[in-house]
Amino acid sequence: MAKLELEIEHFPPDLKSTKRLFGRADAKEVEPLIAAMIPGLSIEKTEGLLKPESQLSKYFGFLQISIYPLQQMVEASFNTRNPAIHGLTDNNTFSFQLYKNDPSKDALGMFALPGNTGHGVAKVMLQNLVDLMDDLERTKLTIKAGDELGGYVWLRYGGLIDPSVQDKAKFPDLKKRLKEKIDLLAPQIIKMYPENGLEIIDAILKLITSEDPQTFWAIANIDIPVTPLEKSSAMPKSYTPSIFLLNEEGKVPLGLVMFAGESWKGIIDLSRGSPSRAMLECMIHDHKLKIFPKNVLTELQERLLWER
């Protein structure tokens, strides 16, 4: 047996249907395999990521649980629908993978179509996932950030870029591109802060060159409003200015421009008290950001870049 699947479909309440089981297996067949593979995990706990139903039911798509005996892995994938469409042609995906013998491989993935976000679905599911991971006593999830906004969003949610697992030929290009982007954004920064714009630029450049991976959080969370850069050689191939949701002045946060279109590999550390978890929970609960690497930031940066 290479793979066994259970699929559970959740219809929005206005379609007047109930969840049903379909696919290659039924719950009675899959449940004991899940429990044997990942002690403490169950179908009910996996479905628990969709709670509270009152808030998420109109976005339900389907949940697919897959058992991989050879890899000793359980994968759960949630497909959430755009409430205006109800079909599966326009959807977001949230998934996680848990390994029986090597928790260091545990992984988390999210894919969201541009324009199909902002409903709070991911925040609820992420909070439920944190609770589930606590229950299973697992503390780290690997992530691969990419596409148009993933490289930015995962930094905002506490993702740590791990230089040791990057493509060694490409990772140095990330810092090079960040420096080039600051050069292109410099006129806007100086115009906005004529008295100390150069100091702000210098502070950001110090963040870029730092060896502390948490400094990428600082850069991603700089909310100085800037006009998005045009496509150029300084931009990654997947950078697309048209995906930005501009404010009334046609601007977006500087941190978004810096990481939009960038791809990287890393982890989210869910250990209790870890900075990564604290960053994630700040975003989940819409708290003001209070965490940043003070060893790098100056009083000037704290005053100008971190006001909330």
Instruction: Summarize pLDDT for 6-37 with one digit per residue, the tens.
Output: 777 665 544 444 444 444 567 788 888 899 99
Average pLDDT, rounded, for the chain: 78
Place 63 in a pLDDT band, splitting at 50, 70 and 90.
confident
Give per-residue pLDDT as tens, 186-238: 999 999 888 888 988 998 998 898 888 888 988 998 888 898 888 777 677 77
- pLDDT, residue 250, reads 80
CB of 121 within 8 A of CB of 59? yes
- pLDDT, residue 89, reads 44
Give per-residue pLDDT as tens, 139-164: 999 998 887 788 898 999 999 988 77
Burial class from Cβ neighbours inside 10 Å (0-12, 13-18, 19+) for residue 108 reads: buried
The answer to whether residue 42 scores a pLDDT higher than 80 is yes
Strands 73-81 and 62-68: antiparallel
- pLDDT, residue 190, reads 93
More confident residue, 304 or 228: 228
Most confident of 47-51, 94-98, 166-170: 94-98
Residue 206's nearest CA partner among 218, 195, 197 is 218
- pLDDT, residue 118, reads 62
Residue 275's nearest CA partner among 217, 197, 188, 199 is 217
The answer to whether residue 305 scores a pLDDT higher than 80 is no
- pLDDT, residue 243, reads 64
List the structure tokens of 109: 């993935």
Give per-residue pLDDT as tens, 80-134: 766 555 444 446 688 999 999 999 999 999 876 555 566 677 788 889 999 999 9
- pLDDT, residue 114, reads 54
